[in-house]
Amino acid sequence: MRIRASDLACVRGAREVFRDVSFTVGSGEALLVTGPNGAGKSSLLRLVAGLLRPAGGRIDIEGGELDLTLGEQALYLGHLDALKPALLVRENLAFWARFLGNGAVEPEPALAAVGLSGLAHVPATYLSAGQRRRLALARLISVKRAIWLLDEPTAALDASGQEMLAGLLRTHVSNGGIVLAATHGPIGLGKTMELCLGEKPMNRLVMDVTALSALMLRDMRLAVRVGGGALIGVLFFLVVVTLVPFAIGPDLALLARIGPAVLWLGALLANLLALDRLIAMDHEDGSLDLMLTARAPLELALGAKALAHWLSTSLPLVVATPLLALLLNLEAKTTGAVALTLIAGTPALTFIGLIGAALTVALRRGGLLLAILILPLTIPVLIFGVAAANAAIAGPMPFGAPLTILCALTLVSIVIGPFAAAAALRHGME
């Protein structure tokens, strides 16, 4: 395997970072990218990983797996550690081993290799900066990739940690692997090639089901542990539905008439609660960079995240609907119809919200903007969801017609949502 870069140029924020950069690195070799701050070391690694598009030149790979891109054959370790504080040390590593690897990999050997075997069942939030870096480095052992792209890999490591890292790098290179590392100094690898930026111009579909299931399980686990997840959504749903009878008064006929609309509005607002964090959390801790370089298509990964959000947020609302319907004086037949429309329509709310979450992922406090963007798009879903529920009560239209349209809206959103969100993410990350 060999990586060739020819006349690479990089432009960030309308500023040329570097140009005319060329290098070649092959199996059993390491290339250290050095230079002052702002010279473009991190940008060069992101170009190789496929996270940025070059403004000029090209990057080619010879050998390796022909059906995979360069980024999909590499393991990228950036400044951020891509760890979830709410998950255990073992759970963090096991997730990335399943998502980026080819199946379940036991994390214990990797944790032992980086000196964290005694912390396997400790939440990652209690790790020091050096321990978090060691845990991130454990991915190099758990995920088998021929190419390692390391951005300041020695950051936060003490002397023993740097010695451990040097041993990992020497083993990888001796086994025919390739290492590209952005660093300010030597990393104990011995004889290496060096590319210095900033001094002068230089002469650049098959889904892994295991990865997607691991992503879904991780997001559902986080939804339960971080901020209450499903419980918060159900409690908000309960508050909205409970306040309406107090506002309307003791008019049971009126409550029964507006009950389906109230339940749908409550479900819509509860669904909005966690949408702004759907992708933003992964962006903040560096997980998104790894997802963008994973072998699983980004569209399918985003679809898995949206499905996990629906299972952990919207499905509990459907389960709670029969209980809350009692507060609105709804009959059993009407309650069943409302629950059926929520099952059919709430996935559309989630996948529409996925697009808004992708558009606002790089914005701080983008929750309000997210609501403004997606609420108009959810109006058709709300209209036909309420219409189907009302049709089941008194007509005049048959129940099947609006329900069929509602299902069609859901199917369209499931198809379009992940692709539109992936396009927005790829554009926004540049």
The C-alpha atoms of residue 174 and residue 178 are separated, in whole angstroms, by 9
pLDDT at 241 over 50: yes
Instruction: Tell me the pLDDT tens digit for each residue of 382-396.
Output: 999 888 888 877 766
Indicate the pLDDT class of residue 367, thresholds 50, 70 and 90.
Answer: low
Q: What are phi and psi of 320, to 5 degrees?
A: -80, -10
Which pLDDT band, with edges at 50, 70 and 90, does 207 fall under?
Answer: very low
- pLDDT tens figures, 264-294: 888 888 888 878 778 888 888 888 888 888 8
Q: Which two tokens stand for residue 329?
A: 């004086």
Report the range out of 197-206, 240-249, 389-398 with the highest average pLDDT: 240-249
First vs last C-alpha separation in the chain: 28
Q: What is the pLDDT of residue 104?
A: 56
The predicted structure's pLDDT at residue 198: 64
* C-alpha closest to that of 182 among 28, 1, 49, 19: 49
Residue 2 three-state SS: strand
CB atoms within 10 A of CB 323: 12
Cα gap 313→318, rounded to integer Å: 10
Q: Domain ranges for the chain, please list them.
A: 2-196, 209-429
pLDDT at 201: 39
CATH of domain 2-196: 3.40.50.300
pLDDT more than 70, % of the chain: 91
What's the CA gap between 60 and 125, in Å, rounded?
39
Model confidence at 203, in pLDDT bands (50, 70, 90)?
Answer: very low
Is the separation of the CB atoms in 353 and 374 below 8 Å? yes
In this prediction, residue 206 has a pLDDT band, given cuts at 50, 70 and 90, of very low
Residue pair 77/280 in contact (Cβ under 8 Å)? The answer is no
Question: Which amino acid, one-letter code, is at 46?
Answer: R
Alpha-carbon radius of gyration of the chain: 25
Residue 150, strand partner residues: 77, 181
Structure tokens at 60: 């080619």
For 21-30, 91-100, 173-182, 421-430, which range has the lowest pLDDT when averaged over its residues?
421-430
How many residues make up the chain in this entry? Answer: 430
Give whole-number Cα distances, 30 to 156, 169, 200, in Å: 22, 9, 22
Q: Is the pLDDT of residue 349 over 50?
A: yes
CA atoms within 13 A on the CB side of 205: 5
pLDDT at 199: 52
For range 231-248, the mean pLDDT: 82
Q: Which of 308, 408, 397 is nearest to 357 (CA)?
A: 308
pLDDT band at 234 (very low <50, low <70, confident <90, very high): confident
Longest Cα–Cα distance of the chain, Å, equals 83
Within 34-182, residue ranges assigned H as helices are 41-49, 89-100, 108-113, 129-142, 159-174
Distance CA 34, CA 210 (A): 37
Amino acid at 59: I
Q: What is the mean pLDDT of residues 335-363?
A: 88
Q: Is 271 within 8 Å of 346 (Cβ atoms)? A: yes
